[in-house]
Structure 1
Amino acid sequence: MNDNILQRARKTFQLEADALNNVRQLLNNDFQQAVLLIKDCAGRVVFSGIGKSALVAQKIVATFNSTGTPSIFMHAADALHGDLGMVQESDIVVVLSKSGFSPEIKALLPLVKNFGNKIIAIVGNTDSYLAQQADLVLNTTVDQEACPNNLAPTSSTTAQMVMGDALASCLMDLKGFKDNDFAKFHPGGTLGKKLYLSVSDVFLQNEKPKVLEHQSLKEVIVEITKKRLGVTAVVNEQNELLGIITDGDLRRMLEKNTDIEHTVAGDIMTKRPKTIEPRELAVSALDMMRKNSITQLAVTEGNVYLGIIHIHDLLKEGLI
């Protein structure tokens, strides 16, 4: 029984992968023209569909909006009962359908054409009514659904989804849409924080442990304990960073039977420690900690010591 389940799962993956490979071969000049048309659109891209195609259309709308192409969703059935009013003169209408003959689609298309809006079809039948009425046709024909009965939309909806992703990706390239632009549309959640949260947004809430290089071991221990970050910076009179001492450094020193009474900060500090500037992204601090197997970084500007950013800070912010 378990083998049959895995066989069906693998067959589903294979059928959908084959379908995507076939649809990729169908890309033509209409796709290029669709991308350019949307890029130069003065209005919005209105996506519409019925059934499963409507759900795919909503996902593509979300992708377009998050990547800098203003879009809205209009259900094909609801359009016939008032929602058609959302279509403005400068908008482009993209209609998704596997068959291209759905009654709601057939009723919608003449109305949109009367408005004078350009129509792009994402359709699985190039001989359909939708394909004939559209200005541009993006062919998502699949030979077989991944459904065991070849009925439920599976391969066909995957093809629609990827066609939408391909449009969005090409538009991002043409518009020069970068990670900073992406961050503007994703200010919430972990993804947004990774794109905009800086070191200065995090470390300033921490204490700033520091000692001078001639201070005693006792003073070092007190400073580390008091500031509760497991580390202290070692600085000179000009507040320039000379090194750091972690609680791990203290333990290793004690294992070596060092002359504790005469030990000072400069004797046990790690020179040239890993540092990061406050303007750097917090996720860059996390990457540096992971690569070097450490849990904190000294924050500096030039060589001036500003404070400590700890891995617990990044955990608290949800970056881990």
Structure 2
Amino acid sequence: MAHPSRHTDLPALTDAEILDIARNTLAKEAEALQQIIAYLDDAFIQSVRLIASCPGKVVITGIGKSAIIAQKIVATFNSTGTPAIFMHAADAIHGDLGMIQPEDVVIMLSKSGESPEIKVLLPLIKNFRTPVIAIVGNMQSSLARQADFVLNTTVSQEACPNNLAPTSSTTAQLAMGDALATALIRLKGFSAEDFAKFHPGGTLGKKLYLRVRDLSVHNAKPSVSPDTSIREVILEMTGGRLGITAVVHQDKLVGVITDGDLRRMMEKYEQFQQLKARDVMTMQPKTIHRDALAVEALQLMRQHNITQVVVLDSNGRYDGIIHLHDLIREGLI
């Protein structure tokens, strides 16, 4: 049931008009990003190299909406191996300037480059002899003229219908920050393993560091020989509670028996008490190395529509079982 409108004096917009507004907004912001691509020059290269060689930290500052974007860039830098902190431009002149050291680099964000807080703060930072990188949308501004390096984020118009609310301009700032971060990732050789060190919690971290062995070690390790009777096979499978058992001969995996194999056996044979493991096992089962990422086991299960994968050690010997439930329990699904 639709909720009645709380405001009877709102403009009447059709569904199509609402979608048109959204499409126009995204198109204008996409256009803004295309514009700043053309502005990239040697100043961007020098900024990246300056940050990469910085012995201290990156201090990122701004006012208003630019301050919010600055905080996101700080978060991105920190998570990709470039130490950074946020300094609000208004708070800086009331004591927070103490966080800046001569070995640091300062990035200042401003659309106009003429905000009173920015104009007051800039010469104070220069007194520290700390290099300043400006991400600015006005190349004739005080900030652009006094910064050591200028990254141009000028946009022709905001996506706001009134061309007032920071929309395209903040998108441009955010994207420029991402461009710096990704260039630094490549320049500093920051790997997926490095990324995992900074993201140990949550699903993302687990996808980057959780190994198959971390999960399979907690499971039973059901195993039978090719000559094991079906009765003993069933007992081994139910004891492990994994719906599977490995079939091993002379320390080598020769097959597996799953719940599905047992169902097919019962459909095929009226009398199966005399059957052996070799008669019903699936040969050449899907396997994974114990040191593989757990997310790779998930991909293998999805690819082949299975719920268990046999784990092997470095010598190709049977090492255990990883089950779909293990991955669900860890939040990888």
Matched residue, 2:147: 134
Matched residue, 2:202: 189
Q: Deviations over 1:253-308 (max 9, x none)?
A: 11112540221101110111111111111111111111111111111122321111
Q: How far off its partner does 1:151 sit?
A: 0.4
Q: 5 Å matches for 1:10-89?
A: 10-89=23-102
Report SS of the residue matched to 2:72.
helix
Q: Say whether residues 1:118 and 2:131 are aligned partners.
A: yes
Q: Say whether residues 1:318 and 2:319 are aligned partners.
A: no
Q: How far off its partner does 1:190 sit?
A: 0.6
Matched residue, 1:255: 267
Report SS of the residue matched to 1:297.
strand
Report SS of the residue matched to 1:122.
strand
Q: How far off its partner does 1:245 sit?
A: 0.3
Matched residue, 1:176: 189
Letter of the 2:287 counterpart: T
Deviates more, 1:254-263 or 1:299-308: 254-263
Corresponding residue to 1:224 among 237, 244, 248: 237
Given the two structures, how large is their TM-score scaled by the length of structure 1?
Answer: 0.98
Q: Deviations over 1:153-210 (max 9, x none)?
A: 0000000000000001111111111101111111111111111100111001011111
Matched residue, 2:17: 4
Q: How far off its partner does 1:97 sit?
A: 0.3
Matched residue, 1:242: 254
Corresponding residue to 2:104 among 91, 94, 101: 91
d(CA) in 1 for partners of 2:248, 2:47: 61
Q: 5 Å matches for 1:251-290?
A: 251-257=263-269, 259-290=271-302
d(CA) in 2 for partners of 1:146, 1:42: 39
Q: How far off its partner does 1:220 sit?
A: 1.1
Letter of the 1:257 counterpart: Y
Given the two structures, how large is their TM-score scaled by the length of structure 2?
Answer: 0.94
Report SS of the residue matched to 1:115.
coil
d(CA) in 2 for partners of 1:297, 1:76: 55
Runs of 4+ in 1 over 6 A off after TM superposition: none
d(CA) in 2 for partners of 1:261, 1:59: 66
Deviates more, 1:296-305 or 1:190-199: 296-305
d(CA) in 2 for partners of 1:53, 1:106: 15
Letter of the 2:260 counterpart: G
Letter of the 1:199 counterpart: V
Could you tell me which runs of 5 or more consecutive residues in structure 2 were left unpaired when the two chains were aligned.
1-13
Report SS of the residue matched to 1:271.
coil
d(CA) in 1 for partners of 2:251, 2:50: 58
Count of matched residue pairs: 319
Matched residue, 2:5: none
